[in-house]
A and B are shown apart, each in its own frame.
Chain A
């Protein structure tokens, strides 16, 4: 981060967000956010989305038939590769 980062426009800040995150920077501590309610709201939205995602898609078991098919396919592969 350079000394001008607090003077960044929203466009500049948002353009650099992915790069800053990728470099390991804590965006919440970025100087631009001190004076920018809109970009703070944007980050709050992203946090809300991440939290909402944890409530999604109940993890489910595959039906028993999947294992039966796997066993059957393994048997077929083994018998076809068996030289006897």
Chain B
């Protein structure tokens, strides 16, 4: 095992989300989960036979996105590291069962999402499954608002305020918002990860954005107070 390459030194596949790609002056990929190339498929096949070097390469290819997802979901570095570790350990245990019904990245994300949701449950949040994560209770849903013009958001949103509002979203809304609007996954990919319909993914994303708008407008009102 010691002869395995150091995953942190391995080249990263350029499948960054839109923000990263923009930062690098590259053209953002339309979907976050690009089709694997032949070399990736070969690495995957070797990892499935127990090749530790190949598994290390898989880790190097996917660690950034899985860690970032964990970090965005739990907002705590130490916890995100533990969750990343657990997700890849589960991957090691289950990789032989991957049959290619979905993209490997989608499958791995689903596995990581389950690890994250399990952790949130341990922390006492009242969700126990993806189904529950996708169906927040009515009181957690967005309120209706008949957008009076003085309460609409201006063109700029304070980054910290938005990050805090995302952190305060119910876990299901947070998950789908991060997967789509931050990570750049398409609805069909999210539907596969979360085992829901594409329509459900779209409508839940819409509710998440509405909920964020509620929070941002509340913040604006607070700041506007004399």
Residues of A within 8 A of B (CB): 10-11, 14-15, 17-19, 21-24, 37-39, 41-42, 44-46, 48-50, 52-67, 69-71, 73-75, 77
> How far apart sit A71 and B202, CA to CA, in the bound complex (Å)?
38
B107: A residues at CB distance < 8 A = none
B65: A residues at CB distance < 8 A = 59
* CB atoms of A64 and B210 under 8 A apart: no
> How far apart sit A54 and B184, CA to CA, in the bound complex (Å)?
8
A42 and B213 contact, Cβ closer than 8 Å, known pairs A14-B146, A48-B153? yes
User: Taking the complex as formed, is B134 at the interface, i.e. its CB lies under 8 A from any CB of chain A?
Assistant: no
Main SS of the interface on chain B?
Answer: helix
Residues 50-82 (chain B) with a chain A CB within 8 angstroms: 52, 56, 59, 63-65, 67-68, 71-72, 80-81
Residues 141-187 (chain B) with a chain A CB within 8 angstroms: 144-149, 152-153, 155, 157, 159, 162-163, 166, 177-178, 181-182, 184
* CB atoms of B149 and A46 under 8 A apart: no
> How far apart sit A37 and B85, CA to CA, in the bound complex (Å)?
49
Nearest first, the 4 closest Cβ-Cβ pairs linking A and B are A22-B203, A22-B199, A53-B181, A18-B203
Select from chain A the residue with minimum beta-carbon distance to B65: A59
* CB atoms of B81 and A53 under 8 A apart: no
CB distance from A28 to the nearest CB of B (A): 13
A48 and B7 contact, Cβ closer than 8 Å, known pairs A14-B145, A54-B18, A60-B71? no
User: Taking the complex as formed, is B216 at the interface, i.e. its CB lies under 8 A from any CB of chain A?
Assistant: yes
> How far apart sit A11 and B153, CA to CA, in the bound complex (Å)?
20
* CB atoms of A22 and B7 under 8 A apart: no
A46: B residues at CB distance < 8 A = 206, 209-210, 213
A57 and B209 contact, Cβ closer than 8 Å, known pairs A11-B144, A41-B149, A62-B81? no
Q: How many interface residues does chain B have, given as a range?
A: 35 or more
Residues of B within 8 A of A (CB): 1, 4, 6-8, 16-20, 22, 52, 56, 59, 63-65, 67-68, 71-72, 80-81, 84-85, 88-89, 92-93, 144-149, 152-153, 155, 157, 159, 162-163, 166, 177-178, 181-182, 184, 197, 199-200, 202-207, 209-210, 212-213, 216
Q: In the complex, which of the residues B63, B80, B93 contacts A67, with contact meaning CB atoms closer than 8 Å?
A: B63
> How far apart sit A28 and B65, CA to CA, in the bound complex (Å)?
32
B178: A residues at CB distance < 8 A = 57
CB distance from B205 to the nearest CB of A (A): 8
B181: A residues at CB distance < 8 A = 49-50, 53-54
* CB atoms of B64 and A59 under 8 A apart: yes
CB distance from A34 to the nearest CB of B (A): 16
A53 and B162 contact, Cβ closer than 8 Å, known pairs A38-B147, A42-B145, A48-B153? yes
Select from chain B the residue with minimum beta-carbon distance to A15: B144
A66 and B203 contact, Cβ closer than 8 Å, known pairs A42-B145, A49-B157? no
> How far apart sit A14 and B206, CA to CA, in the bound complex (Å)?
11
